[in-house]
Amino acid sequence: MATFAGAMIRKLFFTVVLFCAAAGAVAQSQFGEKPRLVVGVVVDQMRWDYLSRYYDRFAPDGGLRRLIDQGFSCNNCLINYVPTTTAIGHTSAYTGSTPALHGICGNNFFVDGHKVYCTRDDSVQPVGANDDKGRMSPRLLLATTIGDQLRLHTDFRSRVIGISYKDRAAILPAGHSANAAYWLSLKQPVQFITSTYYMAELPQWVKQYNRLLAGNASVQAAGSDIGLRAECGTVITDMAIATLEGEQLGKGDDTDMLCVSYSQTDVIGHRWGTRGEHTDEAYLQLDRDLGRLLSALDSHVGEGNYLLFLTADHGAAHNWAYMQEHNLSAGPWSSSQMKQWIGQELAAAYGDDGEYIADVIDYRIFLDWQKIRERGRNGSELMHRVLDLVRQREGVTFAAIFSELSTTAMPPQMRDRAIMGYHPGRSGDIIFFPRPGFYEHGSWSSPTGTTHGEWNPYDTHIPCLFYGWKVAHGATSREVHITDIAPTVCQLLHIQQPNACVGEAITEITH
């Protein structure tokens, strides 16, 4: 009996060893597998519910239906920081991080007391056109992106390129070490440009595409208003396809990456809001353009040979007047009026001009610390005085000094997102939260349009779709975050996560 038992144990032992060896062999083969191309798509200002709103109107063979019906959808993907703006959203999706670490704290913010634009770089020159919009680079970005990590992993053999209507939407996703980023110059003729950060001269294939674009009468007639037309997405798609062919992306021995951002949806939303024929046209045309892009990818690198994800940088509120028409709580907000009122109150308190606020950006107050020091004011006392005034302002639900967030009584959804969005020296001094449905009116939206920037679901609930290489069809309602996209892609590629990544790989996709 003992001999029989011993034989069975030995047999079981060898079976386990063989199974482990086989599993190891499978794991090794998985590590050796890789897609030929990664394509990141960001749709500016796309709310998650647009997927269901337009589903029946999307073409069965179009782009978005294909991604939904054949790909994997994360139906509860949230932005986990504030403010929710274009520059931050694009950066967070590709770094797996938040402003607290990657340092892009808005489209505009302050560095060392000076207001800056997120990609402005006066040390570089425009390439392709004599346009000041060409003085751009990713130098203010403090973290690496998926593309940077891919380039590092392959000893910089992988090629990474960003494309968009907006400079920031092309530059920030592609990262520091990108081979190129191209964005539109709206001067006549409308054409794609870059900066000397990337190259001294446009490649011949870009020059050739620009010549075709110069001959597009509709685009040139639109001029600086091209972003208000659904056709802008067609231009971006054409440029993406031209990039595939011109750079032969996905044809080498190493995985390449193409970062594509569609911005017309945001420009149109700011002008006309979340409802109406202009927004409808924008998303139905986007569906057709994405269908063309997928067909080009199938032809160029082969169906199943590329990994694609689609998300948004933020959502958008419904137009406040539209909401009021239907007896729903909403209204306009004016930071400039609040700033003026606070200045008057400070003037009365201190007996001077009261101008101690440098700016109010994205519901954050930036104090003018140079003026505070020059006038010998007690900075802490003045800051708390401003905080008390903000809390008195009608329409403000919560407000806090950034350095005191952890001890301020407010819902954790607000507090935690504010902490994740705070970078010392770049994010200002005081943050406030308007009532739900109330948003900044006038600077980024028309009377019929809308904007974004807050913690509420209409600004933070975004689409997150994966499609293609190693992606099984399915969906999850588990809460995931915009910062989870980068580690998910990196795990599928078996490369290291970006160096400030705080997200977690979505295991339903990575298995």
Q: Which two tokens stand for residue 294?
A: 């997928």
Known active-site residue 154: no
Q: Which residues contact 340 (CB under 8 A, 6 or more apart)?
A: none
Q: Are 448 and 383 in contact (CB under 8 A)?
A: no
Which helix (H) or strand (E) segment holds residue 381: the answer is helix 379-392
Q: Are 220 and 190 in contact (CB under 8 A)?
A: yes
Q: Which two tokens stand for residue 243?
A: 């990039």
What three-state secondary structure class fits 160? strand
Q: Which residues contact 225 (CB under 8 A, 6 or more apart)?
A: none
Q: By CB neighbour count within 10 A (0-12 exposed, 13-18 middle, 19+ buried), where does 254 fall? A: middle
State the pairing for strand pair 364-367/357-361.
Answer: antiparallel
The span from the CA of 291 to the CA of 314, in Å, is: 23
Q: Which two tokens stand for residue 83?
A: 């403010």
What three-state secondary structure class fits 52? helix
Neighbours of 387 (CB within 10 A): 20
What three-state secondary structure class fits 258? strand
Whole-Å CA distances, 228 to 107, 191, 262, 327, 395: 20, 16, 12, 29, 31
Residue of 84, 85, 86, 265 marked active site: 86
State the pairing for strand pair 160-164/126-127.
Answer: unpaired
Q: By CB neighbour count within 10 A (0-12 exposed, 13-18 middle, 19+ buried), where does 298 fall? A: middle
Q: Are 316 and 88 in contact (CB under 8 A)?
A: no
Q: DSSP letter at 91?
A: H
Q: Which residues contact 199 (CB under 8 A, 6 or more apart)?
A: 127, 180
- Overall size of the chain counted in residues: 511
Backbone angles phi, psi at 329, to 5 degrees: -70, 125
The span from the CA of 87 to the CA of 124, in Å, is: 20
Which residue is associated with the tokens 């001959």? 215
Which residue is associated with the tokens 């709310």? 47
**Which amino acid type is present at position 329?**
S
Q: Which two tokens stand for residue 416?
A: 């935690």
Summary count for the chain: helices (H), strands (E)? 20, 21
DSSP string, 358-374: EEEETTEEEE-HHHHHH
Catalytic residue annotation? 86
